[in-house]
Every structure is written in structure tokens, then in C-alpha cells.
Amino acid sequence: MAQPAIYVPDVVYSYNWMDEEIQEYAIEAYIGHVRNLQKEIIEQDFYVRLIPTNKGWKYEHFAEYQKLFDEFDYDEFAFYAVQYTGGDAGNAINLLRSHVRNSIAALDMEDVFLIGRLAEDDLFDFAPRVRGATGLRQWMDACSTGDGLSQSLWPEFQEGREAKLSFNDGQEQRPINEFGGRKEDN
């Protein structure tokens, strides 16, 4: 049997330089869009697995998704990670890991996958519930030959990424706010 198509809707943006009111509006608009889209998928009986993505970074931002996750029994989340790199990003990988932990603590989802983050060293230290990653640059670098892209190079590339992600398998991902009743603040 064929797997369902996977769709990660991405229709608004929210950045830390925006006013909090605009950030909240963006998150509400995104949640509303996903809800309407999921209802349409169900009504039309499309064979599509919709996976929400992040439109925030704080625990409170992700907590706003809870009703949506409850309504449609979502247990997975796509975390857009591209903006956590390059230029003056500095300690961006640790900030990204913190933001991913915020989403896990708020929504208690089982599976998170990262969009735009495939570097082996980066994948190694993510929370155990981060079980997948997508990206283009590292894949193209690893699978390129003088004649283009090679499928024969893919298995080794894939195995290396899966090994890094599975390093923490079997470890318990405890809610962050379980420690001292506090949430991460970033």
C-alpha cells in the first residue's frame, strides 16, 4: 500500500524581531489555516498526512497549538530549522535545540522532524523525540559526483544521519517544566 502524501503547510512567518502582538496574530492565523486545511482533507477524503510546523519558539507559542493537536490527534511536528544558521547566528544550534525542547514540552508530541538540518554533528544532541530530518545542502554534497547526483551514495549518507538521530533512542524525554516547575525562557 502506498504511503500518504505528507504536507507541511507554511503560510505565515513569525520572527523574534516582530512585535509580540504580530507574532500572536501570525500563530493564530497559522493554526486557523491548518485547522481549515485538515478539515478539507478529511471532508474530501484525501490521502494526505498533514504535519504542522513551528510559527514560534517559546513554550507559550507552542502551547497555543494544543487545541489543534487535540482536535486532530496530531502526534508529530515539523520544526523549520533553516533560519538557525549562517551569518551572525553564533550559538544558533543550541538555541534551536532549546526551541525544539520547548515545542516538545508544550505539546508532548511523539515525533519531531527538522526541516533544513542534516549536518551529522548537529543531529547528534537533539532530544530523543527528534526522529527525522530533511535538508538539501548536505545531501547534495554527499551524493554529488562529476556527473550529477548518485543514488548509490544515498544509503551511506542516510545511515549516518539515522545513526546520529537514533543515538538517544530509548532515553526518556521528560517534560522540561517538570524540573522546578519552570519553562525555558528564550
Give one word for 116, left, alpha or beta, with left for phi > 0 and alpha for psi -120 to 50.
Answer: left
Which cell is 57 given? 519558539
pLDDT band, residue 165 (cuts 50/70/90)? confident
Phi, psi of 5 (to 5 degrees): -65, 145
- Residue spans of the domains in the chain: they are 5-178
Render pLDDT for 15-28 as a digit per residue (tens, 0 to 9): 878 899 999 999 99
Residue 53, strand partner residues: 78
Match 493564530 to its residue by C-alpha cell.
Answer: 28
pLDDT of 82-121, one tens digit each?
888 765 556 788 889 999 999 999 999 889 989 988 877 7
